[in-house]
């Protein structure tokens, strides 16, 4: 199974995605880590662009091909990135769960953004102004939406795992 997370930075995606990966014993693919590794390699003269996502799609495809479940953790802001994840699942002939993590409490979301620290060496976290200005397209396909202003990370994890179990029973 492919479980794809999306949502703005600071909503709690990574916390929940890691918990889901642990609980499911799935391969964990994090775009931030991939993009920082590309930056740290000093092989690009400009922005990382779609390179991090392309690497993530390939790694996910390889692991799904080995029979591993994959949890993909990324902002996943555009319809094109979401379509690409669906293509990865389709080509591997596995079910996909798409999860959008939101934080409806703007003050809480901003507090999280302004007080968190990076766990990836060299990675610079986006500030609140950058997050507010970020392009983020509305989701058009059916997906699970979890509001971390209303549930704990443990409750959110349980919701994702329940959705995954339901999907595999169909």
Q: Label residues 56-90 b or e (16+ Cβ within 10 Å = b).
A: bbebbbebbeeeebbbbbbbbeeeebbebbeebbe
43 alpha carbon, distance to own chain's centre: 25
CATH of the domain at 38: 3.40.50.300
Give, for all 170 residues of the chain, the pLDDT tens digit: 999 999 999 999 999 999 999 999 999 999 999 999 999 998 877 788 899 999 999 999 999 999 999 999 999 999 999 999 999 999 999 999 999 999 999 999 999 999 999 999 999 999 999 999 999 999 999 999 999 999 999 999 999 999 999 988 75
**What is the model's pLDDT at position 46?**
74
Q: How many domains does the chain have?
A: 1
pLDDT tens string 1-31: 999 999 999 999 999 999 999 999 999 999 9
Q: Which of 51, 34, 55, 42 is nearest to 120 (CA)?
A: 34
The enclosing H or E element of 18 equals: helix 13-24
Distance, CA of 110 to CA of 55 (rounded, Å) = 30
Q: Say if CB 26 and CB 71 are below 8 A apart.
A: yes
Neighbours of 22 (CB within 10 A): 12
In the chain, the N- to C-terminal Cα span, in Å, equals 13
Residues spanned by the domain of 142:
2-169
**What is the model's pLDDT at position 146?**
98
* SS3 of residue 13 by DSSP: helix
In percent, the amount of the chain with pLDDT more than 90 equals 90
């Amino acid at each position: 199974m492919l479980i794809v997370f999306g949502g703005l930075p600071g909503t709690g995606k990574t916390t929940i995605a890691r918990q889901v990966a642990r609980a499911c014993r799935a391969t964990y693919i994090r775009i931030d880590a991939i993009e920082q590794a590309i930056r740290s390699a000093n092989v690009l003269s400009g922005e990382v662009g779609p390179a991090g996502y392309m690497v993530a799609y390939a790694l996910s495809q390889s692991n799904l091909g080995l029979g591993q479940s994959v949890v993909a953790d990324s902002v996943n802001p555009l319809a094109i990135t979401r379509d690409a994840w669906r293509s990865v699942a389709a080509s591997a002939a596995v079910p996909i769960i798409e999860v959008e993590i939101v934080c409806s409490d703007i003050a809480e979301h901003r507090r999280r953004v302004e007080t968190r620290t990076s766990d990836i060496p060299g990675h610079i976290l986006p500030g609140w102004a950058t997050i507010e200005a970020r392009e983020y397209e509305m989701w058009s396909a059916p997906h699970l939406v979890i509001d971390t202003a209303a549930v704990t990370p443990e409750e959110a994890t349980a919701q994702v795992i329940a959705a995954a179990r339901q999907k595999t029973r169909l």
